[in-house]
Amino acid sequence: MSTHHLKINPDKTELLFFPGKNSPTQDLTVNFGDSVLTPTQNARNLGVTLNSQFSLTANITATTRSGLPATAIRPLQLIQNAAARLVFNLPKYSHTTSLVRSFHWLPVAARIQFKTLVLTYHAVNGSGPVYIQDMVKPYIPTRTLRSVSAKLLVPPSLREKHSARSRLFAVLAPRWWNELSDEIRTAESLYIFRRKLKTHLFRLYFD
């Protein structure tokens, strides 16, 4: 680090120990400047949360949370609105709905839904990460129905919809996916799916 003129902040440095197979447990500590680092179970690096057993459980939990509450979305939407005003050089309190629409920008809430459904498309078509695919289950009717080819997913239970889990990917993704038209769900390519989905969400939020 010194060679490259970089400085490490000991207060933000974590020690993660990856033991070899059948290796004895070691109580390691590392002296780092005036600090003593002790092993932690989880550490985050470059956006990925790892733990000492190479399990990605903590990272999966963080990744699959979606559908922010309105209190969290509002500050983001205010930033988007401010950006639209800046482009048009308009006063601070100018109405922005028509501005955002003219740019064909999706509002923040719609953008979250868009990203979630793109992940779902990958999962439904077997091209996404396995841990994402495991969170959505195809709906299989008890008898042969038209819905077999509609690529529907098992919907979340009523209890899940109104519980603390209601904002998790595993709950939101099937609900939002099943609300799409057959034409969008069965799109033959990701490019077509994204194009049709954006048009659908744009109309949903603005029309």
Q: What would the mean pLDDT of 134-157 be, rounded to a whole number? A: 77
Q: Mean pLDDT in the chain?
A: 82
pLDDT digits (tens, 9 = 90+) for 10-29: 777 888 777 777 776 666 78
Q: What would the mean pLDDT of 116-136 be, rounded to a whole number? A: 91
Domain ranges across the chain? 10-63, 106-206
CA-wise closest residue to 66 among 190, 157, 158, 177: 177
Specify the pTM: 0.63
Inform me whether the pLDDT recorded for 110 exceeds 80.
Answer: yes
pLDDT digits (tens, 9 = 90+) for 64-88: 444 767 777 888 899 999 999 999 8
Which of 74-88, 103-117, 154-168 shows the lowest mean pLDDT across its residues? 154-168
Inform me whether the pLDDT recorded for 117 exceeds 90.
Answer: yes
Q: What would the mean pLDDT of 110-115 be, rounded to a whole number? A: 94
For the chain, give percent helix, strand, coil, nearest 5: 50, 10, 40
More reliable by pLDDT, 182 or 146: 182
State the pLDDT at residue 182: 92
Tell me the longest C-alpha to C-alpha distance in the chain. Answer: 69
Provide the b/e sequence for 70-85 (b: ≥16 CB within 10 Å): eeebeeebeebbeebb
91's tokens? 């006063």
Quote the CA–CA distance of 61 and 63 in Å, as a whole number. 6
Quote the CA–CA distance of 185 and 152 in Å, as a whole number. 8
